[in-house]
Amino acid sequence: MPTFAQVKRHVLLAVGGYPSLAAGQTNAERLAEVVNQAGQYLFQRPWRFRERTSAFISLVASQDYVSLPSDVEEIISLINRENIGFNIELVTPDHLQNLREISIDSGGHGVTYACLSRVANAAGSALNPARLELFPTPTAAATDALAVRYRAGWVEIASGAADSYEIPIPKYCDSLFIQYCRAFGMAYEDEGLSQRLVEIDAGPILAGALTKDGILQRDIGRLRPSYEIGYGVSIIPRFTQNPS
């Protein structure tokens, strides 16, 4: 994994110095901005390395939501760990709201509905963390009742972060991430970001990383003829019978 210092040096090398600054911005803030923008772009894809092992979530009595890990971006699966009388079904926010509005009692059917959402932000405040809304509202507390697997989002790096901070990506994405950092850094000089990203995404560095990550299937050679299993352990090719 590259360190914060290493990727910043790549940006400086690509630009030939510090990128241009917005009014009132420091060099450290601009470099952190470039790295974070590159990280956000990298994390747009459903990389396998973004998948996290199950986090265990507790239910709170009379509370219609549960808090989630701070880096949750997409839920992969949600299962019930306790025998508390319901299955869980992930639905859209409007479906969940409709259920609440008409006050359907799903308890008798053993189903609890859930959706990922965020509380509205006050003007000028930071984005609120994601949470899992539930219907119907749990009537009793239950410890570690739910197991959630999820894809993590990019965690913003502060401009004052230590140079030794390690970028949370696997080695096979190092080159790709550095290329994105260079592209975002140079874009502040010539506005050529889109073209650079298109070139990177059409090249072998991204394709290699996707294959290594498991998103793309490796090329395993030419397709072989169809075969069928014969008697015993022998494999008998399938031939077309000659009608004559």
Which pLDDT tens digit goes with each residue over 37-74? Answer: 999 999 999 999 999 988 999 999 999 999 999 899 99
Query: Are residues 159 and 138 located together in one domain of the fold?
Result: no
Question: Is 90 within a domain?
Answer: yes
> Would the pTM count as exceeding 0.95?
no
With tokens 């395993």, the residue in question is 220
- Predicted pLDDT of residue 102: 85
DSSP three-state, residue 229: strand
Q: Which amino acid would we find at residue 144? A: D
Q: Give a yes or no: residue 76 inside a domain.
A: yes
Identify the pLDDT of residue 235: 44
Residues 6+ apart with CB under 8 A from 230: 236
- Between 221 and 177, residue with greater pLDDT: 177
Q: Give yes or no: residues 177 and 204 share one domain.
A: yes
Helix (H/G/I), strand (E/B), else coil: 160: coil
Asked whether residue 220 is domain-assigned, the answer is: no
Q: How many CB atoms lie within 10 A of CB 31?
A: 23
Q: Are residues 64 and 140 in the same domain?
A: yes
Q: What pLDDT digit, counting tens, does each position of 184-238 carry?
A: 999 989 888 999 999 999 999 999 999 999 865 555 556 566 545 444 444 444 4
Q: What is the mean pLDDT of the chain?
A: 85
136 and 87 share one domain: yes
39 and 160 in a common domain = yes
Together in a domain, 93 and 114:
yes
Contacts 24+ apart (CB under 8 A), 10-15: 10/178, 10/181, 10/182, 11/35, 11/181, 11/182, 11/184, 11/185, 12/185, 13/182, 14/181, 14/182, 14/185, 14/186, 15/185, 15/186, 15/188, 15/189
Do 36 and 66 fall within a single domain?
A: no
Task: Quote the number of domains for the chain.
Answer: 2
Report pLDDT for 125.
Answer: 72
Same domain, 78 and 127: yes
Same domain, 135 and 87: yes
Residue 124: domain span? 50-152
CA distances from 33 to 29, 30, 102, 165 (A): 6, 5, 45, 15
Q: Is residue 64 part of a domain?
A: yes
* Contact predicate 193/183, CB 8 Å: yes
At 244, list the tokens: 């004559």
Q: Which residue has the tokens 């965690």?
A: 155
Whether pLDDT at 106 is above 90: no
Q: What is the CA radius of gyration of the chain?
A: 25
Res. 244: pLDDT tops 50: no
Amino acid at 234: S
Residue 232 lies in a domain: no
On whether residue 231 sits in a domain, the answer given is no
* Residue 69 and residue 131 in one domain: yes
